[in-house]
Structure 1
């Protein structure tokens, strides 16, 4: 059987290491070969954003899938903003653009309310049962809670995950001279900042006191500020909750979430302070003021004109001391031999750690964002095409290939991969990534939750309004007032239209801000002191505090 020969060839040449034995890999592939028989020769189109993991799928795994199953697979890579725009077009028009989508779980609230996406729980038990792998092992997926809606059903299957963390130059932070200078000036140790005050002190110190290391001008901060869709994610990806906006409660803050939207019994009820939201509350405004201030004072001058993808490679060039808002998706590009941030022995000069939190943050609040790009099937895709595409989605997340894929893109989706001995061996080369994903800390990092009723419509309001604060056209307060009012308009329109029958918006009447500040929880009134004393922790002490044994399944 040519297909089985192809499977053997790929298992031997590409699909190593794996958490399965070669014998079990072959068994898993035999199931795919059989399940794919009715769809042989079909041409299937899927799409995802452009990150290292998806490039590997598009260039290598799609080819393997075609050779093994006989289904012709085209995996397109486009910008994340385009993925959101195109999926919105398919949902609105009912015309089949792609047969399956790797779509961020940030859209879980949208998919659940609009009923355009297939609930995978129903699909796997019903129409898609004959093409659902017996070895899928859903319990092994670490991001399944992110793709589960309030009805308890799984709507999307995680394909890659990455977190935004704190990134810093471990070699500089452990340099005795630099440490002594910092301690003399600030009265506490240079280390991983626990709060934003310490981050600001460190940014100031490297930019204006250290100034230069080995003949290179250094900066205490890196960010980006161009008015572009990627500026929106910079904030919707939990920046407000890191500052302390919204309520306590993992994963997203209840009743007020990290977008500042208040939700009552699953119904969005408003995002302005007057309606009990927190999008323009003191904590949110503080978060924008700090962002603008740090970008201006401590980052390279050209950072303000950069987008997300342009700013991503900058820390690897060797002039940045720390970055508060750094995505682990960049890890694969940060560990290349020969980079100024790599040692000759293959270990990095940098580390990653949990992000510091702002002055309004309280224990029990969300601390950061985790992206979970997840396979999504739409009702507008014909059933046979949907089945063939679902086979590919399971193939690229299967245990046969997922460990190797995790080594290529460093975007873990399976618990079994995270704890594999190959990652125990590789951990010292990855600057804390493995330790973070093995730690209980990771649950405080979550995607946008189920509260957001229309991600495409609401997300675009963010970059347009915050862009005005970033460029200096508006104050942080004016920009957030404008954003909160615009969000409420969209929520009101959705409520009036009645299109979202389940958990649709039900807006609160307006009250005075003071009434909401006096009520328990978010929104909180303005703090008298938004810069408490800086606090740091020694990186090696922090890492040792995390357990090193796998959780019981």
Structure 2
């Protein structure tokens, strides 16, 4: 009670000092209560949190009583926002938020429908920054950097501190303008059973069989050797069948993202360059300046290049040889149960959004003291990968507002977006969901204390690696329209309806066709296809697409600590 009275006094002081109007006592009390009982820990002092919440109360005054609708995919982070933070925002500001949760594919479809029809279906979306190439070309997305200086200036949080966000480079267009505000981030990292890899008997056996140390694989050959070792030589641990590799392959949009979101980049399909390869990115799309000019090798792209086909053959071979048969019936969401069950030795890349689901003390993969038996580390790379290329994928779910949304709704939705990423709220949200967006939160003492229980996640986000694991970039001019092709062709390859060569050739040609159609619809930086030439002409040039490499890699591993030091 004493704190709440003192808080009210501080609020009154801030109101008087900054010239704000007096605010409803119930809103002040609500802010105090949420700060005291929910929004801890924070990198802000409680008095600074109070000042930040008081700003929201005052800024929201013209919108009090409004209802806004936002939509996001169903992740732990967004469940926390929908179930807790939307309620807090309403009690503090008087703006009612309907925060809808749905599948990632459905979020993209809903946004695409609003962009196509101009009807205001939702006031804001949390969608992946993978759409940045679409947004800056479409002319239909609110340019946040302009909005914050113009019609959104009065509703832009003074303490927003954009420089504190670690993912702004992913949501910025080639024009240097900000189109989206990061809300959550997670990376695709190598996951493995550190306890199994540390067993002296397994280490001796592996060294005898393969001639090098069992450790964190640095390339795909080492990953394959480890998969073979646990699946064919170890076979069982404590009477339970174990597997050396794990993946998912059910015909579903998520299997397409499995390939587009990291697999080809790790193989080395694209060019050197960050956050995405230039002129050829990890989708195999070549750009000239900012104009996409082709995905097929015949047009200078790399989607059906030797590196891309090598990547797909490894995906299929490992799935058939080393993964549980159940893998072919699982998706992104349903695949988690196998890791939790303790039968998997490693996964080449695993979504760290699932960390909260694999740290419960009752799981077979967690020690009695709460520390994990597993670790995350840099994913191994294929034989076409070179230093200076992106090393994997990082998801950056980001707030996106469309121009078709009425101004007043834009402003109210912008308030809510800033609220759930504000410094008052963000560290608590990060501790709850482990999808950090702010440097100050990552570097906090609270994350230091949490680090031993998160298997390397904190070390990743404190390192330069957070800039090398990147989302889809600006080479992709129509993510909603083009992403659908991935899973359809990849599924046909998995099911044996197409060979790898047939599937990747057809996928590349389909992407070229889509680029051609966009050339008549988009203005700024619209596609302009290169003429078809002999593939050999492009393969003989330096960079991507890369000519066939007949050499096999020799497996290479590092001890865990040395492997994560690479991130530094």
TM (norm. structure 1) is 0.98
CA distance in structure 1 between the aligned counterparts of 2:339 and 2:567, rounded to whole angstroms = 26
**Deviation string for 1:263-305 (max 9, x for gaps)?**
0110000000000000000000011100011111111111011
Tell me which moved more, 307-316 or 86-95.
Answer: 307-316
Please list, as runs of the form range in 1=range in 2, the aligned pairs for 1:288-327 lying within 5 A after superposition: 288-327=312-351
What corresponds to 1:515 in structure 2? 537
What corresponds to 2:297 in structure 1? 273
Distance 1:448 1:302, change over 3 A: same
1:334 matched to 2:358? The reply is: yes
What corresponds to 2:554 in structure 1? 533
Kept in 2, the 8 Å contact 1:160–1:411? The answer is yes
Per-residue deviation, 1:461: 0.5
Distance 1:103 1:231, change over 3 A: same
Kept in 1, the 8 Å contact 2:361–2:369? The answer is no
Per-residue deviation, 1:308: 1.0
Please list, as runs of the form range in 1=range in 2, the aligned pairs for 1:457-472 lying within 5 A after superposition: 457-472=481-496
Kept in 2, the 8 Å contact 1:100–1:386? The answer is yes
What corresponds to 2:372 in structure 1? 348
Please list, as runs of the form range in 1=range in 2, the aligned pairs for 1:13-92 lying within 5 A after superposition: 13-92=37-116
Per-residue deviation, 1:545: 5.7
CA distance in structure 2 between the aligned counterparts of 1:186 and 1:351, rounded to whole angstroms = 23
CA distance in structure 1 between the aligned counterparts of 2:474 and 2:445, rounded to whole angstroms = 35
Question: What's the C-alpha RMSD, in Å, of the aligned pairs?
Answer: 0.8
What corresponds to 1:550 in structure 2? none
1:157 matched to 2:178? The reply is: no
Please list, as runs of the form range in 1=range in 2, the aligned pairs for 1:152-231 lying within 5 A after superposition: 152-231=176-255
Kept in 2, the 8 Å contact 1:251–1:443? The answer is yes
Per-residue deviation, 1:221: 0.7
CA distance in structure 2 between the aligned counterparts of 1:176 and 1:90, rounded to whole angstroms = 58
Per-residue deviation, 1:250: 1.1
CA distance in structure 1 between the aligned counterparts of 2:563 and 2:313, rounded to whole angstroms = 29
1:430 matched to 2:454? The reply is: yes
Per-residue deviation, 1:546: 5.3
CA distance in structure 1 between the aligned counterparts of 2:566 and 2:230, rounded to whole angstroms = 28
What corresponds to 2:422 in structure 1? 398
**Deviation string for 1:8-58 (max 9, x for gaps)?**
000000000000001100000000000001111111110111111111000
Match of 1:161, SS? strand
Match of 2:48, SS? helix
CA distance in structure 2 between the aligned counterparts of 1:546 and 1:424, rounded to whole angstroms = 17
Per-residue deviation, 1:313: 3.2
Kept in 2, the 8 Å contact 1:313–1:330? The answer is no
Kept in 1, the 8 Å contact 2:378–2:564? The answer is no
Which of 406, 426, 433 is the equivalent residue of 1:382? 406
What corresponds to 2:14 in structure 1? none
Match of 1:177, SS? helix
Match of 1:406, SS? helix
Per-residue deviation, 1:110: 0.3
Which of 452, 468, 475 is the equivalent residue of 2:476? 452
Kept in 1, the 8 Å contact 2:272–2:278? The answer is yes
CA distance in structure 2 between the aligned counterparts of 1:332 and 1:313, rounded to whole angstroms = 13
Per-residue deviation, 1:543: 3.3
What corresponds to 1:505 in structure 2? 527
Per-residue deviation, 1:251: 1.0
Per-residue deviation, 1:544: 4.8
Structure 1: any 5+ residue segments left out of the alignment? 548-553
Kept in 2, the 8 Å contact 1:245–1:522? The answer is yes
Structure 2: any 5+ residue segments left out of the alignment? 1-24
Match of 1:352, SS? strand
CA distance in structure 1 between the aligned counterparts of 2:337 and 2:40, rounded to whole angstroms = 28
CA distance in structure 1 between the aligned counterparts of 2:198 and 2:124, rounded to whole angstroms = 47
Kept in 2, the 8 Å contact 1:238–1:259? The answer is no
1:411 matched to 2:435? The reply is: yes
**Deviation string for 1:356-383 (max 9, x for gaps)?**
0001111111110000000001011111
Match of 2:421, SS? coil
Match of 1:77, SS? strand
Match of 1:308, SS? coil
Which of 118, 143, 146 is the equivalent residue of 2:167? 143
CA distance in structure 2 between the aligned counterparts of 1:360 and 1:142, rounded to whole angstroms = 29
CA distance in structure 1 between the aligned counterparts of 2:449 and 2:476, rounded to whole angstroms = 40
Kept in 2, the 8 Å contact 1:48–1:78? The answer is yes
1:125 matched to 2:135? The reply is: no
1:134 matched to 2:158? The reply is: yes
Kept in 1, the 8 Å contact 2:182–2:396? The answer is yes
CA distance in structure 1 between the aligned counterparts of 2:237 and 2:287, rounded to whole angstroms = 49
